[in-house]
């Protein structure tokens, strides 16, 4: 789409609402010890495997976030299960199972986000086959048989920054490492290490107030667990005990249901995440608390956890609540990355620049919330203000984009509620609405025979003046003159607003064309005007729609000079409703269902997001918003600022009536 300025959604490390690490900061170094193994190895876990597969989902999540870390090593199979005495090489399994998926997805992840290592490899634990546990009486001076420990020590000796050692299971290998360093006088290595443990104690879950250490990860090797806590208490090491905040914060607070988590399966790593351990209607990746706390911008940071290994009941409960609050944002970030990883060119005639999730509570930094209420926005002629309705059959308001001050436009007189507000090119306001309202039949006031057009002077010193016409749905208003167009089935009407002794009225009213004048295949379809094409106003862009089972709509144009009627969207089997034309007249905003055509039994206007359509006759479209990807929301009613830099629009729930919104959002098209 060479003629469309790219809508780039900040594809840097800081993509999204929550910057993780600034470009000036170094990424945290990470080394992981996990008891994870191939879930096909049979054992005594509830899932029938040798080890709990929750680490599989946690690892997939880590890979989706891997651009935020410097991964120094990942040790798998750090476990005491007897089944592993003869099990295959678990590093080979992980390098295939995770490695192949990661290499498949990393191309898009680096293309659209960036900063991901080309490859991540895994190392098998030195204790997998021996299943040994920590012995307090041993000095562990000789580590010749512990490659998964000596590799970390070698890196720590040369690395200038702290290495964060994430413990997802038994503490055996970390305890052996610590004992070796203290025995050999190698405290410098320990100063380079920071241990972050998942659930090796809890006062609330598995453990108790009397025995917080009575949890699975500590029971696996009680001596190692006790030794690590003792060394932390004595100040020999930094040991951050997360407790159960991953399980009872991130996991318990997550979105629920297969419909949500099936969305991850569009990418290879996302599929592993969703299927690693799906239990109790959500994905269990509780060990992930260690790296989300390390990132520090997602509810809990290491500042919220003591470094001396002590996990008090108060701290654990507070952090559990924080992660519960942030859980939806965490999962939406993972889903956003999974969708990017699995992005493929859409075959349905539009260009999708970035596969990103948009959600009213989770917005990228290109989109900001302007108001917490309202619908049907309109930019002022100078672009400094936005008018909007508080609700259908409500009042019109105006917000200053710089000061954010909101003022009412229609509260200085009595009325029955308006449906839309627009600006005329002279700064006056155009309103639509009936002169009655029936609470038991509210939508009667919206019917074409009842919805009137009014002009409200910009000085707001008097009630609006009716123009003596009624209309169906929307109205087209020129930005350069006082021309308007509207519909009363089956005709499209045109007129000009003139002022006589300061009072507005219509002049030169006439029929432009009728439904029967439309070309095939949209002949006799319903009409709705949208916009006069700048900069010459020599074409009226309108919507031809067919109220079939699912509802179709086509972007059409009427040439004032030749009378020609043509299609621009060129897909009468899709819902493409035109909205506002960009100031240069070369493209237009469109509500479209190209991403979900003929989906389930939904009406097409329930499955919309915002697109940009070229008006060169090519039919090329570019998707701008992604609210509808989660099947809960849709974006609608977009307008573009006079300078073409900002987009104002709204979001709504999927099954809400057209026009309803829950606040005005602003998209910066230059970011």
Q: Do residue 465 and residue 611 come from a single domain? A: yes
DSSP per position, 598-638: T-TT--GGGS-EEEEEESSSS--EEE---GGGGSSEEEEEE
Q: Determine the Cα angle at 553 with ends 548 and 559, to 5°.
A: 135
Question: From residue 469, how far is each of 315, 392, 556 by CA, in Å?
Answer: 66, 20, 24
Over the stretch 63-75, which tens digit does the pLDDT of each residue have? 999 999 999 999 9
- Domain that residue 305 falls in: 29-341
What are the φ/ψ torsions at residue 566 (nearest 5 degrees)?
Answer: -140, 160
Q: Determine the Cα angle at 68 with ends 113 and 297, to 5°.
A: 105
Q: Is 346's pLDDT higher than 60?
A: no
Rounded to an integer, the average pLDDT of 314-329 is 96
Does an H or E element contain 342, and which? none
Q: Residue 658 falls within a domain, yes or no?
A: yes
Q: Do residue 174 and residue 95 come from a single domain? A: yes
pLDDT band at residue 362 using 50, 70 and 90 as cut-offs: low
Parallel/antiparallel/unpaired status of strands 350-352 and 621-623: parallel
pLDDT band at residue 353 using 50, 70 and 90 as cut-offs: very low
Cβ(119)–Cβ(95) under 8 Å? no
Nearest to 450 by CA among 506, 488, 507, 497: 488
The predicted pLDDT at position 550 comes to 53
Helices first, then strands: H and E counts in the chain = 11, 33
- What angle do helix axes 54-64 and 90-112 make, rounded to 10 degrees? 30
Q: Is 52's pLDDT higher than 70?
A: yes
Rounded to an integer, the average pLDDT of 215-233 is 95
586's tokens: 């070369």
**Residue after which a domain boundary falls, among 341, 369, 402:** 341
Q: Do residue 504 and residue 622 come from a single domain? A: yes
Q: Residue 346 falls within a domain, yes or no?
A: no
Q: Is 548's pLDDT higher than 70?
A: no
Over the stretch 20-48, which tens digit does the pLDDT of each residue have? 333 334 899 999 999 999 988 887 776 77
The predicted pLDDT at position 572 comes to 83
Cβ(613)–Cβ(621) under 8 Å? yes
Rounded to an integer, the average pLDDT of 631-640 is 89
More reliable by pLDDT, 534 or 596: 534
The predicted pLDDT at position 4 comes to 30
CA distance 478 to 494: 11
Q: Residue 16 falls within a domain, yes or no?
A: no
CA distance 497 to 483: 6
Question: From residue 537, how far is each of 101, 543, 556, 561, 581 by CA, in Å?
Answer: 53, 17, 15, 10, 11
CATH number for the domain including 165?
3.90.245.10
Q: Is 323's pLDDT higher than 60?
A: yes
Q: Residue 534 falls within a domain, yes or no?
A: yes
Q: Do residue 308 and residue 388 come from a single domain? A: no
The predicted pLDDT at position 615 comes to 96
Q: Do residue 380 and residue 328 come from a single domain? A: no
Nearest to 131 by CA among 79, 77, 89: 79
394's tokens: 């409500």
155's tokens: 């890196």
CA distance 254 to 277: 14
Over the stretch 419-442, which tens digit does the pLDDT of each residue have? 999 999 999 999 999 999 999 999
CATH number for the domain including 536?
2.120.10.60
Percent of the chain with pLDDT over 90: 76
**Residue after which a domain boundary falls, among 313, 341, 369:** 341
**Three-state SS at 657:** coil
Parallel/antiparallel/unpaired status of strands 163-168 and 29-34: parallel
Q: Do residue 229 and residue 308 come from a single domain? A: yes
Q: Do residue 330 and residue 396 come from a single domain? A: no
Strand-pairing partners, residue 611, are: 590, 623
Q: Is 526's pLDDT higher than 60?
A: yes
pLDDT band at residue 365 using 50, 70 and 90 as cut-offs: confident
Task: Find the range with the poorest average confidence among 250-259, 400-409, 555-564, 596-605.
Answer: 596-605
Q: Do residue 388 and residue 421 come from a single domain? A: yes
CA–chain centroid gap for 103, Å, is 24
CA distance 149 to 131: 15
CA distance 653 to 517: 36
144's tokens: 């010749």
**Residue after which a domain boundary falls, among 308, 341, 374:** 341
Other beta carbons less than 10 A from residue 316's beta carbon: 25
435's tokens: 């002169």
The predicted pLDDT at position 44 comes to 76
Q: Do residue 422 and residue 296 come from a single domain? A: no
Give the number of domains in the chain.
2
Q: Residue 210 falls within a domain, yes or no?
A: yes
Q: Residue 240 falls within a domain, yes or no?
A: yes
Rounded to an integer, the average pLDDT of 364-387 is 93
Rounded to an integer, the average pLDDT of 502-509 is 97
The predicted pLDDT at position 386 comes to 98
pLDDT band at residue 359 using 50, 70 and 90 as cut-offs: low
Cβ(491)–Cβ(438) under 8 Å? no
DSSP per position, 526-589: EEEEEEEPTTTT-EEEEEEEE-SSS-EEEEEEEETTT--EEESS--TTSBEEEEEEPTTSSEEE
Nearest to 268 by CA among 340, 332, 327: 340
Q: Residue 182 falls within a domain, yes or no?
A: yes
Question: From residue 360, how far is each of 89, 368, 404, 405, 591 by CA, in Å?
Answer: 46, 10, 19, 22, 18
- What angle do helix axes 268-276 and 90-112 make, rounded to 10 degrees? 130
Q: Do residue 492 and residue 559 come from a single domain? A: yes
Tally the residues of the chain. Answer: 671
Does an H or E element contain 66, and which? none
CA Rg value for the chain: 31
DSSP per position, 6-64: ------STT-SSS--S-TTSPPPEEEEEE----TTSB-SSTTSBSS-THHHHHHHHHHH
Residue 471 CB partners (closer than 8 Å, separation 6+): 432, 448, 451, 452, 453, 486, 487, 488
- For residue 535, is the peptide bond before it cis, meaning its omega torsion is within 30 degrees of 0? yes
CA distance 60 to 124: 18
pLDDT mean across residues, the chain: 90
Q: Do residue 321 and residue 380 come from a single domain? A: no
Q: Do residue 320 and residue 375 come from a single domain? A: no
């Amino acid at each position: 789409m060479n003629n469309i300025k790219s809508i780039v959604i900040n594809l840097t490390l800081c993509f999204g609402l929550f910057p993780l690490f600034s470009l000036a900061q170094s990424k945290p170094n990470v080394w992981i010890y996990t008891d994870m193994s191939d879930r096909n190895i049979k054992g005594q876990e509830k899932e029938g495997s040798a080890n709990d597969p929750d680490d599989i989902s946690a690892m997939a999540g880590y890979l989706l976030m891997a651009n935020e870390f410097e991964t120094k090593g990942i040790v798998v199979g750090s476990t005491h299960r007897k089944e592993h005495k003869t099990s295959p090489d678990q590093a080979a399994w992980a390098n295939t199972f995770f490695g192949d998926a990661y290499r498949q997805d990393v191309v898009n992840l680096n293309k659209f986000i960036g900063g991901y290592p080309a490859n991540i490899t895994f190392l098998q634990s030195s204790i997998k086959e021996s299943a040994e546990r920590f012995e307090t009486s041993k000095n562990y001076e000789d580590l010749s048989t512990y490659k998964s420990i000596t590799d970390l020590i070698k890196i720590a000796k040369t690395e200038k920054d702290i290495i964060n050692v994430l413990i997802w299971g038994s503490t055996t290998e970390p305890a052996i490492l610590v004992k070796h360093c203290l025995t050999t006088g190698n405290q410098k290595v320990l100063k380079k290490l920071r241990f972050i443990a998942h659930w090796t104690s809890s006062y609330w879950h598995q453990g108790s107030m009397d025995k917080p250490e009575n949890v699975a990860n500590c029971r696996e090797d009680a001596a190692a667990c006790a030794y690590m806590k003792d060394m932390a208490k004595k100040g020999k090491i930094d040991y951050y005990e997360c407790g159960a905040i991953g399980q009872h914060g991130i996991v318990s607070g997550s979105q629920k249901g297969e419909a949500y988590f099936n969305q991850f399966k569009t990418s290879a790593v996302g599929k592993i995440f969703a299927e690693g351990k799906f239990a109790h209607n959500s994905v269990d990746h509780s060990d992930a608390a260690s790296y989300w706390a390390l990132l520090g911008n997602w509810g809990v940071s290491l500042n919220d956890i003591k470094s001396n290994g002590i996990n008090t009941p108060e701290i654990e409960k507070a952090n559990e609540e924080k992660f519960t609050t942030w859980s939806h944002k965490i999962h939406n970030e993972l889903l956003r990355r999974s969708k990017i990883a699995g992005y493929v060119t859409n075959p349905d005639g539009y260009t999708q620049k970035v596969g990103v999730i948009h959600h009213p509570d989770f917005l990228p930094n290109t989109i900001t919330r302007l108001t917490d209420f309202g619908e049907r926005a309109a930019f002022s002629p100078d672009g400094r203000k936005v008018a909007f309705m508080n609700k259908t059959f409500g009042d019109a308001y105006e917000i200053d984009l710089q000061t954010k001050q909101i003022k009412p436009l229609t509260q200085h007189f009595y009325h029955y509620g308006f449906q839309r507000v627009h600006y005329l090119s002279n700064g006056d306001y155009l309103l639509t609405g009936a002169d009655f309202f029936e609470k038991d039949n509210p939508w009667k006031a919206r019917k074409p025979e009842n919805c009137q057009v009014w002009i409200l002077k910009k000085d707001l010193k008097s009630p609006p003046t009716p123009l003596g016409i009624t209309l169906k749905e929307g109205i087209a208003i020129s930005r350069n003159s006082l021309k308007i167009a509207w519909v009363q089935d089956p005709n499209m009407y045109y007129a000009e607003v003139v002022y006589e002794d300061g009072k507005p009225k219509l002049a030169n009213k006439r029929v432009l064309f009728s439904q029967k004048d439309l070309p095939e295949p949209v002949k006799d379809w319903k009409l709705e005007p949208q916009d006069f094409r700048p900069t010459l106003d020599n074409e009226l862009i309108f919507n031809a729609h067919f109220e079939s089972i699912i509802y179709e709509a086509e972007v059409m144009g009427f040439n004032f000079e030749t009378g020609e009627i043509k299609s621009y969207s060129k897909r009468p089997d899709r819902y493409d409703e035109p909205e506002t034309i960009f100031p240069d007249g070369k493209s237009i905003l469109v509500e479209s269902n190209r991403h979900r055509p003929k989906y389930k039994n939904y009406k097409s206007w329930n499955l919309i997001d915002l697109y940009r359509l070229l008006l060169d006759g090519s039919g090329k479209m570019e998707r701008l918003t992604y609210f509808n990807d989660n099947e809960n929301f849709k974006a609608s009613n977009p307008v573009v600022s006079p300078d073409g830099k900002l987009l104002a629009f709204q979001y709504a729930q999927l099954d809400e009536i057209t026009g309803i919104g829950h606040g005005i959002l602003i998209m910066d098209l230059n970011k």
